[in-house]
Structure 1
Amino acid sequence: MKRFALAIVAATTLALPVFAGEQYVDGTSYAVSGYDVVAYRSLTQNPVGTKQPGGVPGRADITTDYNGATFAFASEENRDLFLADPEKYAPQFDGHCAYGVSKGGKVPGNPNLWRIVDDKLYLNITENVVGFWEEDIPGNLNLANGNWPKIEPTHASASPIPNFTSSAPAAN
């Protein structure tokens, strides 16, 4: 009976989106530093241990709001895909570094340090952190998913993303 109750709690928890605060927004005033979260699905994901291609910057004239932030997109088609299923495309942990969340904290996620795992987008903060994250992605995800609901919404980092120069959206 105890296992059954735990299974119900786990299934219910996994079925609902979990927000530990608003989306991380940096100095660009956009979620994911203005990068198009739908475009990651069209990029070739490189194997673990190798660098991913850079994200695709969005445009200031193609945006929508979600989870307290403005998301920018490279095309109207991508914006429409996002609007149809924002939970599919929005980065996990509200755009914070997945490895940081696995360690119990919130630090910014870099839009060029990404990986899609089980059809979900994860960001990390630095190339060194990507190495730690990729040493045990399933284990780190397990830790992060356990930590995320316990992290206070107001404990988000206000720090800029290290070694990152934004390609903030520009009006066309």
Structure 2
Amino acid sequence: MLGFSRRGMARGSALLAAGTLFAMASWSLAAEKPPLAIKGYDPVAYFTDGRPVRGLPDIEYEWDDHRYRFSRAEHRELFKADPVRYAPQFENFCAMALSKGELVEADPENWLISGGKLYIFGKPGGPELFQKNLSENVYKANQNRALVPGN
């Protein structure tokens, strides 16, 4: 026959409760992690390497309610020093679509740096189309910035 004592049961219940609270706290912290910016691409690499480069999960920095990943620690430090310079202009959204009043998720492989600013686009033709009337498209996209969640 198994022997149960009140003290043993109380200790077991306390351990179970503590384990449950720990699991809930861990789940809560994971659930509150900000979303990944630009699908994990390194925003600084566009400027330094002249091409899109995937960032690494162990080199991250949280800014403006997003998690940015970087291919090198040096890129993270550059971003920390001046995030406005390196972050894409319309977060994870296509600059050309936003200029038309539409909200389309961007593909970080389609990009443009103009006037020291990074723009990303939903389709390969986006950068060329955006540049055709650059100042007007930038103006219209900025006018529609309120469409971007969180703005």
Q: Is TM more than 0.5 here? A: yes
Establish whether residue 32 from structure 1 lines up as the match of residue 76 from structure 2.
no
Q: Distance in 1 between matches of 2:126 and 2:80?
A: 31
Determine which structure has the larger helix proportion and give its number.
2
TM-superposed CA distance for 1:153, in Å, is 2.5
Establish whether residue 74 from structure 1 lines up as the match of residue 71 from structure 2.
yes
Asked if the contact 2:99–2:138 (Cα under 8 Å) also holds between the matched residues in 1, the reply is yes
Q: Distance in 1 between matches of 2:150 and 2:79?
A: 26
Question: Which residue identity lines up with residue 116 of structure 2 in the other structure?
Answer: D
Counterpart of 1:143 (choices 140, 146, 150) is 140
Establish whether residue 98 from structure 1 lines up as the match of residue 104 from structure 2.
no
Counterpart of 2:80 (choices 79, 83, 88) is 83
Higher relative contact order (CA 8 A, sep 6+): 1
Q: Indicate the SS of the match to 2:125.
A: helix
Q: Distance in 2 between matches of 1:70 and 1:58?
A: 11
TM-superposed CA distance for 1:128, in Å, is 3.2
Q: In structure 2, what is the equivalent of residue 114 of structure 1?
A: 111
Q: Distance in 2 between matches of 1:40 and 1:59?
A: 15
TM-superposed CA distance for 1:67, in Å, is 1.7
For these two proteins, the number of residue pairs brought into alignment is 117
TM-superposed CA distance for 1:152, in Å, is 5.9
Q: In structure 2, what is the equivalent of residue 61 of structure 1?
A: 58
Q: Distance in 2 between matches of 1:75 and 1:151?
A: 32
Counterpart of 2:149 (choices 148, 153, 156) is 153
Cα distance change on mapping 1:154 and 1:89 into 2, 3 Å: closer
Q: Deviations over 1:53-98 (max 9, x none)?
A: 4x11111110011122211001110001111111111100122100
Asked if the contact 1:95–1:122 (Cα under 8 Å) also holds between the matched residues in 2, the reply is no
Q: Deviations over 1:28-70 (max 9, x none)?
A: x5211111001111234xxxxxxxx4x1111111001112221
Question: Normalized against structure 1, the TM-score is what?
Answer: 0.62
Question: Which residue identity lines up with residue 63 of structure 2 in the other structure?
Answer: Y
Question: Normalized against structure 2, the TM-score is what?
Answer: 0.70
Q: Distance in 1 between matches of 2:118 and 2:125?
A: 19
Cα distance change on mapping 1:131 and 1:73 into 2, 3 Å: same
Counterpart of 1:125 (choices 96, 102, 122) is 122
Runs of 4+ in 1 over 6 A off after TM superposition: none
Question: Which residue identity lines up with residue 74 of structure 1 in the other structure?
Answer: S
